Structure 1
Amino acid sequence: MVNSSPSPTDLDPKRLFSFELDEFQDEAIAALNADKSVVVCAPTGSGKTLIGEYAIYRALSQGKRVFYTTPLKALSNQKLRDFSQLFGAKNVGLVTGDLSLNREAPVVIMTTEVFRNMLYGTPIGQIGTSIQGVEAVVLDECHYMNDRQRGTVWEESIIYCPPHIQLVALSATVANSDQLTDWISQVHGPTERIYADFRPVPLQYNFCNLKGIFPLLNKKGNSINRLLLNTKYKGKKPPKVKPKDQVPSLLTVVSRLQERDMLPAIYFIFSRKGCDRAVAETVGLSLLTSEEKRQVAAHLELVLHQHPEAIRRSQVECLYRGVAAHHAGLLPAWKSLVEELFQKGLIKVVFATETLAAGINMPARTTVISSLSKRTDQGHRLLNPSEFLQMAGRAGRRGMDEIGHLVVVETRFEGTKEAGYLATAGPDPLVSQFTPSYGMVLNLLQTHSLDEAKQLIERSFGQYMANLSLIPQQQAIADLQAEQKQIFAQLAPYGDLETLQEQAASYKKLQERLREAKRLHKTLQNQAERARTKDLAAAIDFAVQGTVLSLKGKYITVSEPVSAILVRKVPGSGQAPYLVCLGEDNRWMVATYGDVVGLYGDIPRFKVVDSWELPPELGLKPGECRKSGAETAATASHIPQLEPTLVAPEVDEQHLEVEKITAWILEHPVHQWPERGQTIKKIARAEKLDKQIGDRLNKFQRLKSRYWEEFLNLIAILQTFNALDPKLVPTTLGESAATLRGENELWLGIALTSEIFAQLEPHHLAAACAALVTETPRPDSWVNYNTSQPVIEALLDLQSMRRQLFQQQRRYDVALPIWLEYELIALVEQWAQDLDWTQLCEQTSLDEGDIVRLLRRTLDLLSQIPHIPHISNTLKDNAIWAMKLIDRFPVNETANG
């Protein structure tokens, strides 16, 4: 930069910046000069911050102000240092949750949450005193809208921001930046999308295995380098897990980076312990020259002079070797030192968790990813493409490196397949994390009607994305309705649909009755036949010569049963004998038991057959048939022609039922319809369509009003606890909770407005507040201090109200945390009683960074208490005093410098 306070005529980028701008930067500046908001979507390290800086120059030249928002306090502090050098310390201020420096300055850096809170209490689209004179708001790291815990803040900030204020949204590459831009245009004002997919410093993807470091992709960059393809297991399934000695060790990787002049490097390891172990593994490896070691010593001496508590002798030795760890378990002051040494090239390898990829200015020549999977709350999973790209983006220093390197290290579980997928997958889309909160409800209802609040909820990016997803649903509903309309037209000649449905239903019932009647008739027939067959077999066994039989079966193949006289029983092939009979047609026949369909025991037998001799030409096999002579003709002619009584009475009755139902069907109106089958199908289809359309419309309405339903559920809970009156006006409790910020503002409001906390001494108050903002600790966490009895009693008094809030949230399916944790808060109480930092750390399993985070969250809540209406002055005074007790190094950020 060459000019820190330009006039309106000095805004030519060529005069402001000492280097040639990239095309996307020129486009963004042109859009800002056209008074448009911009969404700048470009890779990490491509120079997006320059566009935010131009917005600041532009505002300063017109005597206006700029707010520069970041998602993290660490980033806000970093921007404070950078912009103070760039624009002058008097022109730059900082506002975070618990810190305010020069807040009336032309350029104010803040967390995005602070900006959102400034907009609360001001009707949407209007100018509140807090944003008077603001020309532009820079939303740095805008892709944090994807963050599950913080995403809502970005959406609210964009919705609430007055339309005349330019928004400068700076985002890493995401797949749906066009949707983000379109949404901002709809809810805020004209917005231009500035998209760049190139990097000023090209990025080379590499893969490291036992044989060395190789390019991961082919020359086209669209598939895996063929030299890395595994041919050893060709035609076989490769082993899922490699032995440890088949993957490169950490020392091997670092040594190869040094040999290939690929340092300095950020080596990503997804656990704090893993980072610390990596530092320990590099003992004996020295990456610094004597002069570099002297410079490290000078920096250490300065920190030791300012904050001796920040120095840990166990962490110092590695700095002289050019190695360090960087993770959330370390003191912020120590991490700042590591960042500074790395930026100056005095640390060659920093082993870091992925939080380092979240916007902190620590570019490197190389980034190393030690594993392509990590443990999460949802289990072990592969990195997603955006996480991979965010880490990869740290490689390549603009103006210093011709090329940046990403090195993926082969592990026992992942290889080139996973690395190739992530390298070619492209970025993930932004997914809205918008979730209404108690604070949102209370703040909106203080200044807006319920209808206005609904309009705001429906302007969220979450609702915008939901509406986009509903477009296919709308089309599907329209298609079904069109088909339904066509069927209605085809059925119109037969009558109205309701009558047709009733007729078709009754016809269908008759058909079902007929099917059931036929089934029952068949069953009765089978039962009667089985009974008859069983009885016949028994009767045949006792039948004697001259008995009259009725024959028809497998061997007596006639159309109607034949009457015959049993003449002989001769041995058969099985247990049953064959039956030699004389038929009514004067023919000899050989039958089996199975051919007998009737036996007439009540007819006197023909005794004449006792003297008959069988004709010699008759074969005694089933089915044999021979014509007889005159001697039997007279007898044959007198064989009675009788119908066999085979059908049981119930069979006859069921047969009549079948005929009756059949007659009803034939007389039914539906049976008279032409194309009856097709017409019935159309009526059934119309009924099915009606149900499908109804189901889809219900689902459509649920999705369309999902966020509003959540908002209404929060209203119901707030009314249950008398935070809102029946007219939806915040009560005393509601007004108090509305001033608070946290994960559950109602719970904080209930606790802090009770008389319980007002009686606590400052150090006890600090511990009790810590219980309200501390998440459930890990099972292996421990503290060697006991919490004081007054604190325990105060927290026990809250248990009943907490239980009631749990019940209501469960009833309305609200998943907001209700913290009330005891295990760690004794640390806060001890710190508030002026315990030495080193001694405090020795009495707990928590890392130093975790202790600082616990104390800062407590400090943040304490800093809100003096601004809560309707609470006692005693509580406010005690909160102020508790803040003074806690806010000292290393908790105090200004002390970290």
Structure 2
Amino acid sequence: MTELEAFAAELPFALDDFQRRGCAALEAGHGVLVCAPTGAGKTVVGEFAVHLALAAGKKCFYTTPIKALSNQKHSDLVARYGSERIGLLTGDVSLNSDAPVVVMTTEVLRNMLYAGSRALDGLAYVVMDEVHFLADRMRGAVWEEVILHLPDDVRLVSLSATVSNAEEFAGWIQTVRGDTTVVVDEHRPVPLWQHMLVGRRLFDLFDYSKHGAEPTGKPKVDPELLRHIAHRREADRMLDAEPRGRGRGRPGGRGGYRPPSRPDVIATLDREGLLPAITFIFSRAGCDGAVGQCLRSPLRLTTDDERARIAEIIDRRCADLADGDLAVLGYHEWREGLLRGLAAHHAGMLPVFRHTVEELFAAGLTKAVFATETLALGINMPARTVVLERLVKYNGEQHAPLTPGEYTQLTGRAGRRGIDVEGHAVVLWRPDDGAAEPSEIAGLASTRTFPLRSSFAPSYNMTINLVSQLGPAAARALLERSFAQYQADRSVVGLVRGADRGRKLLAEITRDLGEDAEPILDYARLRAAITDKEKSQARSSRLQRRRAANDALAELGKGDIINITHGRRGGLAVVLEPARDPDDPRPLVLSEHAWAGRISTADYSGPAGAIGTMSLPKRVEHRQPRVRRDLASALRSAAKGLDAPSRRRGRGHVDADPDIDPELIRLRQRLRSHPAHEVGDREAKLRQAERYLRIERENAAVDRKIAAATNSLARTFDRILGLLTERGYVRAAGAEEVRVTDDGRLLARIYSEADLLVAECLRTGAWNGLNPAELAAMVSAVLFEPRGSDGPAAQPDPPTAGLRSTLAATRRLHGDLRREESRHRLEPSREPDAGFAPAVYRWATTGDLTAALMEFESSGGPMPAGDFVRWCRQVLDLLDQVRNAAPDPALRAAAKRAIADVRRGVVDVDAG
């Protein structure tokens, strides 16, 4: 019996064709890349790698992008193989780490590879679950580091969601890992039906009848759905046209139509037999608010027996929470929601709450979950139905429509294999949301475009580790083998082809111009230079006039009379109130036409200075029409005594000489005396020459793109290496040799986005002398990033004098570092943010959760308990690195004590 046969015999289901192909390739000694839809069962191939390792007495590492997935996979494997053979490593959790099979986050494996850990001995297989996560902007580079660094004899099992450029990704994997079998399967084992909910009526999105296909083969939108929405719109239009009091004044707007409430949506799904359901809401507050709305309704989705089982699981999970913390954690509302079958799920929740929701949902005890899109990342919480309230989400910079890839990823949660015969995706129709129109949703649902784009770029820590292990030349070669460079090089192929076409066109134009080509092209360049110079001079003149007007407006005082020479407010005016801001002066004036308001340099095309003065009352009530009329009359009288030249010019006037630039005069003279000036048919030939110059400029831009793409990572690496050499982290030891210094070895042990700043603080002793709580607070300042408007409005005052001076020293080091980065043309390091420092200081000194959360709230806004725990755990991770890397023994001891002070209470409960 083969190992695959033995493995398959233990499964409660028959293997699909793609699973069998992936497992067979693995047993034959190949690496494997498996791309399949969410819920298709691709992790079976990863589990077969575990089986093979155990059968051969070898090791297998199973990596995931997030701790929640690692915890879940650890539980699955323990249930199958026993706890003695399965370990877990997630940075702050270490269970049975010497086991033959260890589940870990990808960062842990990356750190092992750089450290040359003995745990790698005997490693035969590495499973990279959710490998498409390498597109993640913040953490995706870790995947490529692991893929590039793994020993050649380790078989790599890469598991990815369906991506539209699977062949490109596979081509790279085969280039860097050798013999790799690619298995792509786009078939969903549980069919997915698309719906729209209009009011409380559920419609199919597509016409699934035999006549329901377009000529292209794509299904048509259900005509009944389109008719119903058209009738809705017509009814709304007629109601809006009714006199006020009959239709227009109805609540809800748009003729009174309101999208169904969240309790109504869940009740409709319950009536249709479509629970359990996940409703994706792209806001944490929205998820919590949805549960609150349902709790205020009569909605109850659980039986008495289910409520008893739910209570038992909640009590078991939350036994270690302190009674005093329950109110601030919102425990009682959360528990009531779960007892009624309702829950939120997002990163701002306390981990123990989030994991309890996951356990209850997996057990079929939670019927409706309101979640952010983080739930779509591999966590095993499939549902019968997925609901999308809106098809727009905030991407960190702006509200943007969902991409087809995001839509597919979210709706892929619908349909539980082995439980449901079909899954359902439901989108709510909203008359005010163009993205939720049937045609838009049909486009999303029928498009399969989810391209994988590398986010790989060398960091300071990566550079120092590469140099330490490989030396500069081999490090550059490794970077050039990355997926990022692979994609850049492939993009260059198209650019080069375009540049070649451009060069052929240039040759054709040169032939057409014949013997006049050289002089006419030179003449065209000269004329283009004159045009550029004229535009530059015009810009300079406008800027000069604007600056003069700005200065004159800033100097104006109360009672000054001015002449507004531009716009509909043109004419005389008197200054009622001087400008407050000299950089953007906007004095309050009253015009001779009795208009009062603030003016700016935009109101001027000429002089802006005062042309005279007049007396004004101490207080001018310019908002009263009578006062404005009387003052305008007094202004006109005062202006009669001014001479005409003053009225026209005024102080601050700038005369513009159109030919002030001698270079422009010289160019014009050259043009008139140029041999081509008298060429016959000059203008026709110039049109060809101008086309030549345009193509030449386009080719130059393409050449710059090619140069930027070619060896781009290696150039960044060289710039980083130059900065690290100047700062003493590496030392030149020959033409192409460098030696990593003690400071460099310190940097190699710091895995943080602020790696170089932390290393600077440690090696210069900037953090020496801090007590444990102060050190925890200081570490938080180099980590913390507020979530948009959730962060403090201003930097809070550090709680101790020692912390204040240390924070100031850290900011000075950061300023020095940013100047060096600018000089080396590197991305600037993020500035320290002390927003979380008072909260973590209070927590480390008192362990009082309420007081710690109030510290954060007092400096700007509330912080969810889940975010507090998440930031504390990141602080713990970096404190552990400081404990291992700091050259000062007292600082290492302070870090060790700080870890103990932070890792307690809610931070230590369910630390997964």
TM, length-normalised to structure 2: 0.74
- 2:152 is aligned with 1:152: no
1:176 corresponds, among 165, 182, 188, to 165
Mapping for residues 68-217 of structure 1, pairs under 5 Å: 68-120=62-114, 129-217=118-206
Structure 1: distance between partners of 2:91 and 2:422: 39
Deviations 1:9-45 (A, max 9, x none): 5754432323211111011011112211111111111
Q: 2:455 is aligned with what amino acid?
A: Q
Structure 2: distance between partners of 1:695 and 1:433: 24
2:753 corresponds, among 723, 743, 746, to 743
Mapping for residues 494-509 of structure 1, pairs under 5 Å: none
Structure 2: distance between partners of 1:473 and 1:480: 11
Deviations 1:854-883 (A, max 9, x none): 1001000011123216x1122112211211
In structure 2, the residue matched to 1:225 is 222
Deviations 1:195-252 (A, max 9, x none): 1111111111111111511111222563322222243469999999957733222122
In structure 1, the residue matched to 2:301 is 287
SS in structure 1 at match of 2:834: coil
Deviates more, 1:188-197 or 1:225-234: 225-234
- 2:403 is aligned with 1:384: yes
2:370 corresponds, among 341, 351, 365, to 351
Structure 2: distance between partners of 1:752 and 1:508: 61
- 2:718 is aligned with 1:712: yes
Mapping for residues 324-403 of structure 1, pairs under 5 Å: 324-403=343-422
Structure 2: distance between partners of 1:168 and 1:780: 39
Deviations 1:292-337 (A, max 9, x none): 1111122223234343557511221112211111112211011111
Mark the CA change 1:152 to 1:784 in structure 2 (over 3 Å): closer, same or farther.
Answer: closer
SS in structure 2 at match of 1:94: strand
Deviations 1:683-706 (A, max 9, x none): 999888776655533331222132
- 2:260 is aligned with 1:266: no
Q: Bigger radius of gyration, 1 or 2? A: 1
Once the two structures are TM-superposed, the CA of residue 398 in structure 1 deviates from its matched residue by 1.1
1:814 corresponds, among 804, 826, 832, to 826
Structure 2: distance between partners of 1:479 and 1:755: 59
In structure 1, the residue matched to 2:590 is none
Structure 1: distance between partners of 2:521 and 2:281: 68
Once the two structures are TM-superposed, the CA of residue 150 in structure 1 deviates from its matched residue by 1.2
Deviates more, 1:70-79 or 1:409-418: 409-418
Contact 2:236 2:255 in 1 (8 A): no
1:316 corresponds, among 335, 344, 347, to 335
SS in structure 2 at match of 1:368: strand
1:762 corresponds, among 772, 797, 803, to 772
TM, length-normalised to structure 1: 0.75
Contact 2:89 2:102 in 1 (8 A): yes
Mark the CA change 1:234 to 1:479 in structure 2 (over 3 Å): closer, same or farther.
Answer: farther
Q: 2:483 is aligned with what amino acid?
A: F
Once the two structures are TM-superposed, the CA of residue 110 in structure 1 deviates from its matched residue by 1.1
SS in structure 1 at match of 2:906: coil
In structure 1, the residue matched to 2:898 is 882
Mark the CA change 1:180 to 1:679 in structure 2 (over 3 Å): closer, same or farther.
Answer: same
Q: 2:344 is aligned with what amino acid?
A: A
Structure 2: distance between partners of 1:688 and 1:317: 69
SS in structure 1 at match of 2:767: helix
Mark the CA change 1:484 to 1:509 in structure 2 (over 3 Å): closer, same or farther.
Answer: closer
Mapping for residues 17-28 of structure 1, pairs under 5 Å: 17-28=11-22
Structure 1: distance between partners of 2:490 and 2:776: 47
Number of aligned pairs?
725
Contact 1:832 1:886 in 2 (8 A): yes
Q: 1:14 is aligned with what amino acid?
A: A
In structure 2, the residue matched to 1:859 is 876
SS in structure 2 at match of 1:360: coil
Q: 1:120 is aligned with what amino acid?
A: Y
Mark the CA change 1:436 to 1:410 in structure 2 (over 3 Å): closer, same or farther.
Answer: same
Structure 2: distance between partners of 1:410 and 1:812: 52
Structure 1: distance between partners of 2:693 and 2:425: 60
Mark the CA change 1:21 to 1:880 in structure 2 (over 3 Å): closer, same or farther.
Answer: same
Q: 2:896 is aligned with what amino acid?
A: I
Mark the CA change 1:665 to 1:454 in structure 2 (over 3 Å): closer, same or farther.
Answer: closer
SS in structure 2 at match of 1:729: strand
In structure 2, the residue matched to 1:14 is 8
SS in structure 2 at match of 1:105: coil
Structure 2: distance between partners of 1:300 and 1:784: 37
Deviations 1:523-582 (A, max 9, x none): xxxxxxxxxxxxxxxxxxxxxxxxxxxxxxxxxxxxxxxxxxxxxxxxxxxxxxxxxxxx
Structure 1: distance between partners of 2:19 and 2:788: 46
Structure 2: distance between partners of 1:506 and 1:829: 70
Mark the CA change 1:301 to 1:211 in structure 2 (over 3 Å): closer, same or farther.
Answer: closer
SS in structure 1 at match of 2:196: strand
Contact 2:318 2:352 in 1 (8 A): no
Structure 1: distance between partners of 2:336 and 2:510: 85
Structure 1: distance between partners of 2:389 and 2:204: 16
Structure 2 unmatched runs, 5+: 241-251, 529-671
Structure 1: distance between partners of 2:334 and 2:129: 32
Contact 1:389 1:427 in 2 (8 A): no
SS in structure 1 at match of 2:740: coil
Structure 1: distance between partners of 2:839 and 2:691: 69
In structure 2, the residue matched to 1:443 is 465
Structure 2: distance between partners of 1:78 and 1:874: 39
Mapping for residues 410-809 of structure 1, pairs under 5 Å: 410-411=429-430, 412-413=432-433, 414-481=436-503, 695-727=701-733, 728-776=738-786, 778-779=788-789, 781=791, 787-809=799-821
Once the two structures are TM-superposed, the CA of residue 136 in structure 1 deviates from its matched residue by 1.0
Contact 1:511 1:665 in 2 (8 A): no
In structure 1, the residue matched to 2:264 is 252
Mark the CA change 1:372 to 1:686 in structure 2 (over 3 Å): closer, same or farther.
Answer: closer
Structure 1 unmatched runs, 5+: 1-6, 123-127, 495-499, 513-660
Q: 1:225 is aligned with what amino acid?
A: D
Structure 2: distance between partners of 1:137 and 1:442: 25
SS in structure 1 at match of 2:730: coil
Q: 1:736 is aligned with what amino acid?
A: L
Q: 1:104 is aligned with what amino acid?
A: D
Once the two structures are TM-superposed, the CA of residue 408 in structure 1 deviates from its matched residue by 0.9
Deviations 1:714-757 (A, max 9, x none): 22332343323345433332221111111131111112223232
Q: 1:710 is aligned with what amino acid?
A: T
The 4+ residue runs of structure 1 with deviation greater than 4 A are: 7-11, 232-244, 308-311, 480-492, 500-512, 675-695, 777-786
SS in structure 2 at match of 1:170: strand
Deviations 1:393-444 (A, max 9, x none): 1111111111111111123323323322211121310111112111111111
Q: 1:862 is aligned with what amino acid?
A: L
RMSD (Å) for aligned C-alpha atoms? 3.5
Structure 1: distance between partners of 2:721 and 2:119: 28
Contact 2:524 2:686 in 1 (8 A): no
Q: 1:106 is aligned with what amino acid?
A: P
Identity, % of aligned pairs?
35
Contact 1:777 1:823 in 2 (8 A): no
